[in-house]
Amino acid sequence: MPAAASGNDGAPPAPAGVPVTVSIRRRVDPERFDEATSWVQTGMDLANEYPGFLGSGWVRAHATSGHWHMLYKFSDAASLEAWENSIARTSWLLEGEGLVLESHVEKRTGIEGWFDHSQEQAGAPSPVQPPRWKQAVAIGLGFFPLNVIFTYLITGVDPAWNDIPTVLRILLTTLVMAPTMTYLVMPQITRLLRPWLQKRPRP
């Protein structure tokens, strides 16, 4: 979801090749909901035409809620920058002037980005970022069985695997497990653990 012009993320530059998730909270003029809905959808369609776009989503707490939470993701910082600096996005933001009363933007990369998709569907006006210890548990639940399976498979296929120098063996393992964790395992883990990850702490 494209960011509003008034947003200020204050995030450090993302490492090259790391997906970037943009999280936006907007307060929309309640008398212009239909216009705002159409405007938001137009932004989705425009962003989808740019290389590196991985998807977007937005939710409201209820039908008349003026607070909207939106997320969109690009494959890397360069792709995101190309979209954010595009003429299409600039024109789109100008068309939305007056529809958005307030906007707050955050950009997240790396591990925290694994938990963003569970927020897209939460339906809460202020989605909960899971605490660090819950993130660690979720990552451990994905990493441990994946590591065990990979180790058994690779040693079964190639008994000489353990003869490979340790540094090279770790590098090859990382090259296999990192994308597998990011694109296959963690989306499933966060989907299964969503109620627990998104549970708000007791006051």
Neighbours of 153 (CB within 10 A): 12
Measured distance CA(148)–CA(24) in Å, rounded:
38
Measured distance CA(40)–CA(46) in Å, rounded:
10
- Indicate where the chain has its CATH 3.30.70.100 domain(s): 20-120
pTM: 0.50
Question: What is the reported pLDDT for 55?
Answer: 85
User: Are 70 and 3 contacting, i.e. CB atoms less than 8 angstroms apart?
Assistant: no
N residues, the chain: 203
Angle at 195 between CA 194 and CA 196, to 5 degrees: 90
**Mean pLDDT (the chain, rounded):** 76
129 pLDDT tier (thresholds 50, 70, 90)? low
Determine if residue 3 is left, alpha or beta; phi over 0 gives left, psi from -120 to 50 gives alpha, anything else beta.
beta
Which range (113-117, 124-128, 160-164) has the least confidence? 124-128
Between residues 66 and 129, which one has the greater pLDDT? Answer: 66
CATH number of 20-120: 3.30.70.100
User: Are 9 and 22 contacting, i.e. CB atoms less than 8 angstroms apart?
Assistant: yes
Of 190, 100, 178, 114, the closest CA to residue 146 belongs to 178
User: Are 27 and 98 contacting, i.e. CB atoms less than 8 angstroms apart?
Assistant: no
